[in-house]
Amino acid sequence: MPLEQVRIVQDGLENSMSNTEKRKSWAEPFKIKMVELLRMTTRDERVKAIKEAGYNTFLLKSDDVYIDLLTDSGTSAMSDRQWSGMMMGDEAYAGSRNFYHLEEAVRKYYGYKYLVPTHQGRGAEHIISRIMIKKGDFIPGNMYFTTTRLHQELAGGGFVDVIVDEAHDPTNQHTFKGNVDISKLDRLLEKVGKEKIPYLSIATAVNMAGGQPISLENLKKVREWSLKHGIPIIHDATRVAENAYFIKKRESGCQDKSVAQIVRELCDLTDGCTMSAKKDAMVNIGGFLAVNDPDLFDQARNMVVIYEGLHTYGGMAGRDMEAVAIGLGESVDHEHIRARVEQVMYLGGKLLDAGVPIVEPIGSHAVFLDAKRFLPHVPQNEFPAQVLAAELYVEAGIRSMERGVVSAGRDPETGDHRYPKLELVRLTIPRRVYTQAHMDVTAEAVIELYENRDRIKGLKMVYEPKYLRFFQARFEPI
Ligand code: P70
């Protein structure tokens, strides 16, 4: 029996342990078989470490980190089933059995017909951008993502934000801040014409908006628009299961659907996807491009051999593909996704109760501190989110990530900083890795920092790389 069938993907809150017993408390739907020991550091050690890292949390050594909330990408804990799948890796250069298993899983859970494996998400973004975008094209999307937009720009295109205005306001309580504003699509079409719009770039659980979902209702409208104008939709499916959980919880008429069903519905409204399997699918490395159009598939399959690897492995080992195939099934399991998203809610709820300014509603994969309100005395050109992330590390050994002016980069036309409305610090929760107690410690540390926020001062950038500067830029206190 295939491994993912061992655990029946069941759904519905009424079936879960806590609800049948009518208890208020609930626990993670797994037990721990192996642990990774954490290193404790002193404040002096952390002051030295962050200085050496140029006040950039990407440049810290992970050995110097206590609770690592830099990202949920490649940092989740694989299940015993995924690990046993790793032992079933078929490392043949061509035609690995794990490729066929992955293809079957993508068809089953997402419904896309053709699979092109890649080493991770940006590998897929590179390929789809190179194939579909011509110089001078415009690619509308529900907020940019750093790597996605860069690949669109490198292919000669320009990203156009068509997300609802509410998404740019961290205090707005809109329950589907990932939604597209169709009138923005109309305006773009009118301005540039459909020949210049190769596809719509639609993400589920929009990362840069704070992990905010798009509703099924909105995606259906986007689909109508797309069919009417003959412009396809490429879906960034990186966190589609998390988006589906929000739909089940919030969208009317969806309560009785399973997360697995909603994931399929979302994917069925689009023409293909790029996927970083390092998130929802909980693997340490891997990704893919999947499409329904045979011609597009042909071109992608040809391009993957140049940049990634043969079309039946695309930069992954056979064992990696097996872990992705199993992880896709686990990602749509109701108990799993509920525990995952509700753990994020738990941390966010604690911060809200203490009056710490965060993006609301709380997103699916992370709690985003609103650095503009946290540090109103630090102007945006002194990198408030960057300094807040550095200070949280010094305070408590907790590593987070800047998602503000540094991440937004420079405008390729003018060369100026892009000043995004959202200046955020992301506390990203890896899946199945930390307990509620780690969340308690994190909340307490952030609250303490908030109480002492007045003493925090801005930074100046002293080194700036050309591409994706946030990864390697260096700073000094002003
Ligand atoms: C993160 C990671 C990756 C990602 C994503 C969405 C919605 C594509 C990708 C790319 C890692 C990251 C990447 C750039 C800047 C900071 C962090 N997001 N689409 O931490 O996938 O990393 O596999 O190439 O979130 O959010 P990949």
Write down the pLDDT at residue 328: 98
- The CB of 278 under 6 Å from ligand 1? The reply is yes
The pair phi, psi for residue 48, each rounded to 5°, is: -65, -45
Write down the pLDDT at residue 7: 37
Write down the pLDDT at residue 304: 98
What's the mean pLDDT when you consider all of the chain? 95
Distance CA 385, CA 79 (A): 34
Nearest Cα residue to atom 9 of ligand 1: 121
- The CB of 212 under 6 Å from ligand 1? The reply is no
Distance CA 300, CA 87 (A): 29
Confidence of residue 21 (pLDDT cuts 50, 70, 90): low
- The CB of 73 under 6 Å from ligand 1? The reply is yes
Residue 355 has pLDDT above 80, yes or no: yes
Confidence of residue 11 (pLDDT cuts 50, 70, 90): very low
Contact 285, 320 (CB under 8 A): yes
Residue 1 has pLDDT above 90, yes or no: no
Residue 18 has pLDDT above 60, yes or no: no
Write down the pLDDT at residue 23: 77
Tokens of 325: 């195939």
Contact 232, 357 (CB under 8 A): no
Give the mean pLDDT of 248-273.
Answer: 98
Write down the pLDDT at residue 411: 92
Query: How close is the Cα of 105 to the center of ligand 1, in Å?
Result: 22
Query: How close is the Cα of 298 to the center of ligand 1, in Å?
Result: 26
Measured CA to CA in angstroms, residue 214 lies from 112, 207, 256, 402 at distances of: 20, 11, 18, 23
Of ligand 1's listed atoms, the one at least distance from the Cα of 207 is 7
Confidence of residue 39 (pLDDT cuts 50, 70, 90): very high
| 309-340 tens-digit pLDDT | 999 999 999 999 999 999 999 999 999 999 99
pTM here? 0.94
Confidence of residue 9 (pLDDT cuts 50, 70, 90): very low
Query: How close is the Cα of 147 to the center of ligand 1, in Å?
Result: 7
Give the mean pLDDT of 457-465.
Answer: 98
Residue 27 has pLDDT above 90, yes or no: no
Write down the pLDDT at residue 412: 87
Residue 208 has pLDDT above 50, yes or no: yes
Residue 202's SS3 state is: strand
Residue 147 has pLDDT above 90, yes or no: yes
Tokens of 357: 């300014």
Confidence of residue 3 (pLDDT cuts 50, 70, 90): very low
Query: How close is the Cα of 120 to the center of ligand 1, in Å?
Result: 9
- The CB of 148 under 6 Å from ligand 1? The reply is yes
Tokens of 365: 């994969």
Nearest Cα residue to atom 13 of ligand 1: 147
Of ligand 1's listed atoms, the one at least distance from the Cα of 407 is 15
Percentage of the chain lying above the pLDDT 70 cut: 95
Contact 195, 156 (CB under 8 A): no
Sheet holding 424-428, edge to edge: 366-370, 424-428, 401-403
Instruction: Provide the annotated active-site residues.
Output: 93, 145-146, 236, 279, 403, 470
Report the b/e string of 308-319 with b at 16+ CB within 10 A: bbbbbbbbbbbb
Give the mean pLDDT of 111-123.
Answer: 98
Of ligand 1's listed atoms, the one at least distance from the Cα of 70 is 20
Write down the pLDDT at residue 341: 97
Tokens of 433: 């890795």
More confident residue, 77 or 16: 77
Give the mean pLDDT of 97-103.
Answer: 98
- The CB of 203 under 6 Å from ligand 1? The reply is yes
Percentage of the chain lying above the pLDDT 90 cut: 94
Nearest Cα residue to atom 21 of ligand 1: 121
